Amino acid sequence: MIRGLTLAVVSVLLLWASCPLHAQQHPPIVLGQSCALSGPAKDLGLEMRAGLLAAFSRINENGGVHGRPIRLISKDDGYEPDKALFNTRQLIVDDQVFLLIGAVGTPTTKAVIPIIETYQVPLFAPFTGAELLRAPFHRYIINVRASYAQEMERLADYLIDQKGITRIACFYQNDSYGFAGLEGIEAALAARGLQLVSTGSYERNTIAVMGAVREIFAAEPEAVILVGAYAACAEFIKLGKNKYDDQLIFGNISFVGTKSLHNALGAYGKGVIVSQVVPHPEDTSIALVREYRADMDAYQHDQPLSFTSLEGYIAGRLFAEIGEAVEGELTREGFIHTLETMGNMDIGGVALSFGPDDHQGMDDIYLTRIYPRIETLEQ
């Protein structure tokens, strides 16, 4: 708890220090984030937070949103739903945040949906592609990234339609995140007249995967889809390669944390692919990526350049774009109305689109391999 509070205070101080004096004369726009800043999934929260902070520091240096600086309060939930619920209630009731931003994970985000709807506080850019945040439609949930179903469809296209692989298994986290991914790959396979040959699961915030390894490899798959966080997925891949088959393709979805998975696997990363929902953080042909890299270097140089921090940066820049477009007083309802009426948007070469019944901004999916270096596959 002390560590989480310390990080929250640091977030506020960093952004306050970056505000020019003329912006400090106006009341700040306070945003709240509950995410994993400790525990096995901490890299995801730390990187998402770093991207947000880099974006907000840039915005504050340039006068804020209509002259108002942005402040971010980040609280540690350790990727546990009960802590996320406690943090979210505190952010809304005690801290009086304008909205919630950059939540990390499906189970933690699922837990806070009722309180979001009760208080009618927007949840902006959660780091999850779960369908439960998209259907049925939620007025107070605004997704930036593509869905897990879209990522699974892209992985199925690559494995089945391009590579001719038909014996596919699924390793998944035993909670709403894992179930969302499992349902996504099952649907993608069913559309092609196929079924998973085997499945295996593990418990969130653990690396107890040996049982899943035995269950999955008993069916002799040609490829395994993984729906988990980087620590457990790395353990599963290492055990699978050592004990059974070093030639399989292991396909992960974006939430895994590509940079952390790459670091954890080393040479075991051969044959491992990851679907992505944002451009490559080294693709400097995109203006927004160039700005992201410069701002990370200026304001968050102790955090890695990664797909996760880039997603946080895009979310932060998008928040400011919408906030600037609000006419009159910045209110939650005005923010949502402005988002819904802006239609197609372009932020430095990254395209997004929203509408009255469409609260998901992006649909693009990219595939990457992670060994020997993280690079985009031919599309």
Give the angle subtended at the CA of 63 by the CAs of 59 and 64, to the nearest 5°: 50
Asked if residue 194 and residue 138 are part of one domain, the reply reads: no
Average pLDDT over residues 173-190: 98
Asked if residue 184 and residue 107 are part of one domain, the reply reads: no
Residue 136: asked if its preceding bond is cis (omega within 30°), the reply is yes
Asked if residue 292 and residue 263 are part of one domain, the reply reads: no
Tell me the β-bridge partners of 33. 74
Tell me, yes or no, whether 74 lies in a domain.
yes
Cβ pair 200, 187 in contact under 8 A: no
Average pLDDT over residues 157-172: 97
What are the strands, taking DSSP E only, across 306-347?
344-347
Residue 27: asked if its preceding bond is cis (omega within 30°), the reply is no
What would the pLDDT profile of 281-304 be if each residue is shown by its tens digit? 999 999 999 999 999 999 999 999
Cβ pair 347, 137 in contact under 8 A: no
Tell me, yes or no, whether 368 lies in a domain.
no
Q: Is the pLDDT at 11 greater than 90, yes or no? A: no
Average pLDDT over residues 177-197: 98
Asked if residue 233 and residue 211 are part of one domain, the reply reads: yes
Task: Give the per-residue pLDDT at 151.
Answer: 98
Average per-residue pLDDT for the chain: 94
Q: What order do you get walking across the sheet with 198-202 strand by strand?
A: 198-202, 168-173, 223-227, 249-252, 272-276, 366-369, 375-376
What would the pLDDT profile of 337-355 be if each residue is shown by its tens digit? 999 999 999 999 999 999 9
Instruction: Count structural domains, the chain.
Output: 2
The DSSP-derived string for 85-97 is HHHHHHHHHTS--
> Per-residue confidence at 247, pLDDT binned at 50, 70, 90?
confident
Domain span at 311: 2-145+283-353
Q: Cα–Cα distances in Å, from 246 out to 157, 360, 367?
A: 22, 38, 21
Q: Is the pLDDT at 169 greater than 70, yes or no? A: yes
Asked if residue 253 and residue 131 are part of one domain, the reply reads: no
Interacting residues of 222 by C-beta distance below 8 A, sequence separation 6+: 165, 166, 167, 168, 248, 249
Task: Give the per-residue pLDDT at 9.
Answer: 45
Task: Give the per-residue pLDDT at 246.
Answer: 80
Tell me, yes or no, whether 374 lies in a domain.
no
- Among 7, 30, 98, 23, smallest CA distance to 58 is for 23
Q: How far apart are the first and last CA of the chain?
A: 44
Q: Is the pLDDT at 17 greater than 60, yes or no? A: no
CATH code, 264: 3.40.50.2300
What would the pLDDT profile of 23-42 be if each residue is shown by its tens digit? 456 899 999 999 999 999 99
Average pLDDT over residues 237-261: 94
